[in-house]
Structure 1
C-alpha cells in the first residue's frame, strides 16, 4: 500500500477515492474519524489520507489526482446584479443571493 494524498478534509479525500475508484484503483481512507482528535494529536496526523492497495498503481493514481486538482471549473454563471461568478449548478448568487439566469 502507498499513500497518494493527504487531504485537507474528509470530503476531499472521498472525492479523490471516488475518482480513483472510477478508474478501477482500489483505495482506502485512513484517519477518516481523526478530526475529533485535533488538539490532542498533531494536525498532520489527524488529516485524512488516501492510500492505494496496489503499489504499481501509485503513479497512475497521482496523475489522476493531479488532473482533478488542475481541472478547470466548468459551467460558471455570472450574476447580472453584482457580477460575481458562481458554479453552474447554483440557482442563486452566493455573493448577493439574487436569482441567477438559466
Structure 2
C-alpha cells in the first residue's frame, strides 16, 4: 500500500501494528531521490508481513482514512462541533460519552 508521505505511512503502520497486523514501512528515505526517479516511485510503502492480513489491513486503513462524521454540542461552551473531533476546538472540553 502506498502512502502519500512518510508521516502518514508511519502513523498507518503503527495503527495497524496496534491492531495486531505486523507492518513495516519501506522506501523511508526514497523521497531524497525524487527527481532522479519519478516522484510516484519514491513514495513510502506499507508492507503487511502476512498475506492473510492484507484484506483486513486494507479495510482498517479505509476506515481510518474516512472517520465517521458526527455533530455534537459542547456541554461547556455550547459550541457546535462537526466532524471526527472528540474535543471542543473552542474550549478544549472533551466530547460527552454517547448514550
When normalised by structure 1's length, the TM-score is 0.68
The answer on whether the counterparts of 1:74 and 1:88 sit within 8 Å (CA) in structure 2 is no
Q: Which of structures 1 and 2 has the larger relative contact order (alpha carbons within 8 angstroms, sep 6+)?
A: 1
TM-superposed CA distance for 1:73, in Å, is 6.1
2-side partners of 1:70 and 1:30: how far apart?
24
Counterpart pick for 1:56 among 52, 56, 64: 52
Aligned pairs, number: 86
Matched, 1:65 2:44: no
| Gap runs ≥5 in structure 1 | 77-84, 92-99
User: What's the TM-score, normalizing by structure 2?
Assistant: 0.70
Secondary structure, counterpart of 2:21 in structure 1: coil
**Displacement after TM superposition at 1:60 (Å):** 0.5
Which ranges in structure 2 are unaligned for 5 or more consecutive residues? 73-81, 93-99
- Could you report, residue by residue, the CA deviation over 1:7-60 in whole angstroms, capped at 9, with x for unpaired residues? 111011011101101111111111111111111111111000001010010001
Q: Which residue of 2 aligns with 1:35?
A: 31
What CA RMSD, in Å, does the superposition of the two structures yield over aligned residues?
2.9
